[in-house]
Structure 1
């Protein structure tokens, strides 16, 4: 994927906007410049940051970039969607792959929303003294999470930590930064979160918002990623120490004793997922909503109806017998993989995202 091409599009957009700066405009129109007048506007903008995580190419198709690339799951139809999904499985990605373009663009859209919000935090007054820093912590968690996806999937990427307002600013940021700089930005954002007034955990009523527990978990995960990266081999011991520290901290914060105390189905059940104490951070989806619902119940389901969805299953992200057999027979996770045979080949689909309440359109409420 040529990153320069993507940023060229952004640059052209900025150029088109700047060409019209002398044109007449409606002084009553809402713009980024005049939108932020109250704390409620900050809250609305933060909701927009979170909502970007639920858009199609942030999580709903990220399995192509992870499980499929690792051959943990398979693409069952090599010719589907003009063969574009199969490129991930077969390591034949081309510059024309729209999934790559759409995911890369979506991730930077999320970062742009964060940067816009951060640039306006001081435009308003707050009802509580800790509110401003709490909003900043939530936004910076999302930025750290998004850059984690970018650096683990693309390696060196542009590092944009401020709102870009002009063609010249876009051009000045149109180059890839070394992975070490990207990880430093991730850890800097997470350090801010951990020093902020943000809650250790969010209650079920605030499900989907960031927390210090989520920041610690992401910190540990990013440190482990660095420890496994050959480019950082000389720092492996340091990264492992950091990972142990952060993950031990978040484990010590848990509101339960042992994982065995939590019925596994609580994690995925639609009625308990928001309150399940094992869940650290969730992306909220709205059942029955075409724009805000999740699609895994039928996308990952077998090619029939009434099993995981009342919409016919598409058999995406299916796994193999080899992966199924790698689970211990007594492992409760194995029970969530069910066999389905198509054209003489047996695959295993997951029951985690089953939603038989969302109707024939398949817009699920699975977080």
Structure 2
């Protein structure tokens, strides 16, 4: 058997990201042997950009990656179970097979990005820097990308190959074709993020021209989320320690914010402080880390506004949509409270006979620069402060300190035009749906972060496996499209290992249970 493994895909073409609008193709570094490629600091910079570039793929973590996360949750789905041999439908129907080619592409893209980051890290150790601080900063950026991707990998597959060096030969590849315990992967993620926080001189927030690059606030916020996840998925004896570590880093992140209250940033995309407004994407103080797209560029534009838009809807894009757009489960629509400002901005009902369903309107670009070809400029937000604020509420609730949790929850509700938790819990309907503070926080995360690839991970974090099975099975199937929620069971907390990866080393690449 030929020993080539998908996660060691060759380094992608890098991009020159000297500013968030400067997506210019570079030569492919991998056309040159690695030992000869790195000679200057500029070579290292290009390799780091190559790692950022790999994130943009829809098969990795870019805007097109919602099939792997959002459709896996109870937020969105599909009304088409036939296209592409029905493979995309398997994700939302919980009928995913190890042979699924989209699953294989996702695995490949994730490990390609890891290898890009490792390629940059190898170069960092090869080149002599005039300033050691600059060396540490490049290393922090590459480690941030690696940590970000591995955090997705470990939450989707659990145990997985852990690769921290650039793999260039078949022998090196073969030596890494085995799954490592998920605890070790989390330890590596923590180490990578701590390096950037403690040893780099990266700014707390990148200036306008460098959006899309790592910063200390994003590192702290992400590390807080990592520890919060560890508290729920790793050994219970360290749960309190993990929660306190999560609190430490989330507080650190909040201490770096450049605004006072969350309501200083709005949902109005026409406002100067509009959170999702394309014109504000490089200056919005709520955004911690984003994947950058270039408005008007045929190669590096965003398509999310047009892709989500149903026929007959025009608020997303000038593109004349002909199909249904992204299908939103009525289960989510019904979760918005009556006076929630976010509902009208996030979803709309398309009453065209070819649609007759809700679609996503949260991401918009109707500018002439995007035009009827829909070359949009929406950046894909990976982490923002509302997420961090709600995680603080989650941490305090988990620590049993509800009085400290509630003000964080209330800050998010305030911006949405909703009453605080203490008042809301007196409402019979609200109390019947969210009888505990924990469920109220989960609800708030759902409607605040809808369609941002957070919901599936929230469900895995808030519930035990048995609780999640019960939760999913209790949903009204009439509010969930044509997917069969009864398919969901214990195995579905993880993806299967792609078949082509498993067969390389059936013992070391053991399959997840139930597949």
Matched ranges for 1:13-52 at <5 A = 30-52=32-54
Distance 1:156 1:251, change over 3 A: same
- 1:151 is the counterpart of 2:154: yes
Matched ranges for 1:215-364 at <5 A: 215-229=219-233, 231-264=234-267, 265=269, 266-304=274-312, 306-309=314-317, 310-312=319-321, 314-336=323-345, 337-341=347-351, 346-357=356-367, 358-364=370-376
Is the contact made by 1:144 and 1:189 (CA closer than 8 Å) also made in structure 2?
yes
Scaled by the length of structure 1, the TM-score of the pair is: 0.88
Between the aligned partners of 1:344 and 1:164, the Cα distance in structure 2 is 49
Report the TM-score when normalising by structure 2: 0.63
Q: State the alpha-carbon separation in 1 of the partners of residues 96 and 2 from structure 2.
A: 16
Change (3 A) 1:209 1:227: same
Q: Shift of the alpha carbon at 1:312? A: 1.8
Residue 225 (structure 1) shift: 1.6
User: For 1:361 and 1:311, how far apart are their aligned partners in 2?
Assistant: 9
1:314 Cα shift?
A: 4.8
- Tell me if the contact between 2:6 and 2:107 (Cα under 8 Å) persists in the aligned partners: no
1:57 paired residue number: 59
Task: Give the CA deviation at 1:201.
Answer: 1.0
Aligned residue runs from structure 1 range 205-216, under 5 A: 205-216=209-220
Determine if contact 2:76/2:328 at 8 Å carries over to the other structure. Answer: yes
Pair 1:365 & 2:365 matched: no
CA distance in 2, matches of 1:330, 1:134: 45
CA distance in 2, matches of 1:163, 1:197: 25
Match of residue 181 from structure 2: 178
CA contact (8 A) 1:75 1:86 kept: yes
The partner residue of 1:74 within 61, 73, 77 is 77
Query: C-alpha deviations, 1:262-289, integer Å up to 9, x for none?
Result: 1223221111011100000010011233
Give 3-state SS (helix, strand or coil) of 2:348's partner.
strand
Q: Which has the higher contact order (CA 8 A, sep 6+)?
A: 2
Structure 2 residue runs without a partner (length 5+) = 11-30, 380-515
Unaligned 5+ segments in structure 1 are 14-28
| Cα pair 1:300 1:314 within 8 Å, conserved | no
Q: Answer whether contact 2:137 2:202 (CA < 8 A) is retained.
A: yes
CA contact (8 A) 2:57 2:64 kept: no
* Aligned length, in residue pairs: 348
Change (3 A) 1:193 1:126: same
1:96 equivalenced with 2:99 (yes/no) = yes
Q: What SS does the corresponding residue of 1:326 show, helix, strand or coil?
A: coil
Q: Structure 1 pair 76/363, CA: closer, same or farther in 2 (3 Å)? A: farther
* CA offset digits 1:115-165 (Å, max 9, x no partner): 111111133333434100000001100000000010111111100000112
* Cα 1:148–1:133 shift into 2, 3 Å: same
Once structures 1 and 2 are overlaid, which stretch shifts more, 140-149 or 94-103?
Answer: 94-103
